[in-house]
Chains A and B, each alone.
Chain A
Amino acid sequence: DAGITQSPRHKVTETGTPVTLRCHQTENHRYMYWYRQDPGHGLRLIHYSYGVKDTDKGEVSDGYSVSRSKTEDFLLTLESATSSQTSVYFCAISERDQYYNEQFFGPGTRLTVL
């Protein structure tokens, strides 16, 4: 988990409340990603960023928004949490475009929406 931290590591919240997850990196990598991991689905891309203030949608972006105001921080916001968003969320970073480079993953955040 070199150089990547996620906060909080665990969170329990109620349906309808907003939730923000934070990813912080010390590697100065340009690309940052948010995934969710669910049994039987592997990891699915929610949003990604290719630079400060440059973001794009992934495969499962509905109900999520992101922001990146600094190279080192990438925030994921659940605007109004639903039970279907109960999952483990992983942040990843990559030095260059993922065509060529592997991604490095944070330790994950376990989110439970009641």
Chain B
Amino acid sequence: AQSVAQPEDQVNVAEGNPLTVKCTYSVSGNPYLFWYVQYPNRGLQFLLKYITGDNLVKGSYGFEAEFNKSQTSFHLKKPSALVSDSALYFCAVVRGNKLVFGAGTILRVKS
């Protein structure tokens, strides 16, 4: 069974508008959740993680994510998108002792 799902292959948003990149998970117990970003021809960069505590997690570059246990979601958000946010975004969850990645969502921010 898929442990983490990113339902949108691509998200398009205008510069200055809020953005959301969706992620849902399906692991038992308390999940450990991560967001990574990949710029063209680069490795992945860590954005933020949820381990425990406050459901709203703040990360790098103005991104934040909201953990929702009842909806088993961990959506990535930013209040005002920048063209430079255009990249490939991965959600990941710890399953067993390994990190399992979603398929990724391309974010395109247009000026």
Residues of A within 8 A of B (CB): 1, 4, 40-45, 48, 58-59, 90, 92, 97-100, 102-108
Contacts and interface: CB of A to CB of B under 8 A. Distances in A.
Interface residues of B, number: 21
Nearest to A110: B41
Given A90-B43, A105-B44, A108-B43, A44 B101 contact: yes
Given A99-B32, A106-B43, A107-B42, A42 B90 contact: yes
A100 B101 contact: no
The 10 closest A-B pairs by CB, nearest first: A105-B43, A42-B101, A102-B46, A105-B44, A43-B101, A42-B103, A107-B43, A106-B43, A42-B104, A42-B102
Contacts of A42: 90, 101-104
8 contacts: A41-B103, A42-B90, A48-B98, A97-B97, A99-B32, A100-B32, A105-B44, A108-B42
A99 B49 CA distance: 11
Contact of A90 (B32, B34, B44): B44
Contacts of B46: 102-104
Given A1-B42, A98-B94, A108-B43, A103 B103 contact: no
Contacts of A97: 97
Given A92-B43, A103-B44, 19 more contacts: A1-B42, A1-B43, A4-B43, A41-B103, A42-B101, A42-B102, A43-B44, A43-B90, A45-B98, A48-B98, A90-B44, A98-B94, A98-B97, A98-B99, A100-B51, A102-B49, A105-B43, A105-B44, A108-B41
Contacts of A44: 101
A45 B32 CA distance: 17
A92 B90 CA distance: 15
Contacts of A40: 103
Interface in B30-55: 32, 34, 36, 41-46, 49, 51
A33 B28 CA distance: 24
Interface in B54-111: 90, 94, 97-104
